[in-house]
């Protein structure tokens, strides 16, 4: 029996394989975007541990009214701040199956502005 995989999963795996090939053992800033919310995690794949995370579902971000892009910017700033507090300054950006545009781009630029290097 042939195993079928969705296009979404194939794109995410293709992106992740490229990161593994060229990134080595660096930590990964993984982004998940839904229709209403966005979240980001700093993941150590060697140890299988999430070091820092932020989501637009958190109370301090959710309380702010505004566009979804504004929430993505705030999530980028918060995840970068939490990562730097843990001593992480350099990561690989894993956009998953999402194109680098809109909320994903806003999150990445905010994380860069807050001090993360990728």
In a domain, 63, yes or no: yes
Rounded mean pLDDT, 62-87: 93
- pLDDT category of residue 21 using cuts at 50, 70 and 90: confident
Confirm whether 29 is domain-assigned.
Answer: yes
Query: Does residue 44 lie in a domain region?
Result: yes
Q: Is the pLDDT of residue 12 over 90?
A: no
Cα–Cα distance for residue pair 88/76, rounded to 1 Å:
14
Q: What is the mean pLDDT of residues 66-85?
A: 95
For residue 1, the model assigns a pLDDT of 57
- The conformational region for residue 13 under phi > 0 = left, psi -120 to 50 = alpha, else beta, is alpha
d(CA 98, CA 40): 13
Asked whether residue 20 is assigned to any structural domain, the reply reads: no
**Are the C-beta atoms of residues 42 and 79 closer than 8 Å to each other?**
yes
37-48 residue pLDDT tens: 999 999 998 899
CA-to-CA distance for 99 and 24, rounded, in angstroms?
22
- Check which CATH number belongs to the domain holding 93 and give it: 3.30.420.100
Closest of 115, 54, 116 to residue 91, by C-alpha:
116
What is the pLDDT at residue 65? Answer: 78
Is 109 within the bounds of a domain?
yes
Structure tokens at 10: 């194939």
Q: Is residue 4, in this structure, part of any structural domain at all?
A: no
Structural domain range at position 95 = 25-113
3-class secondary-structure state, position 106: helix
Note whether residue 76 is domain-resident: yes
Number of domains in the chain: 1
pLDDT at 20: 79
- Domain membership of residue 15 (yes or no) is no
Residue 29 has pLDDT above 80, yes or no: yes
């Amino acid at each position: 029996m042939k195993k079928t995989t969705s296009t979404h999963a194939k794109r995410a795996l293709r992106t992740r394989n490229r990161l593994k090939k060229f990134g080595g053992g660096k930590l990964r800033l993984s982004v998940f975007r839904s229709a209403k919310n966005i979240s980001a995690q700093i993941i150590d794949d060697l140890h299988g541990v999430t070091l820092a995370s932020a989501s637009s579902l958190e109370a301090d971000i959710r309380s702010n009214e505004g566009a979804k892009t504004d929430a993505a910017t705030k999530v980028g700033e918060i995840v970068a701040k939490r990562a730097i507090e843990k001593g992480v300054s350099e990561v690989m950006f894993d956009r998953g199956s999402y194109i680098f545009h809109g909320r994903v781009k806003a999150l990445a630029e905010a994380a860069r502005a807050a001090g993360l290097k990728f």
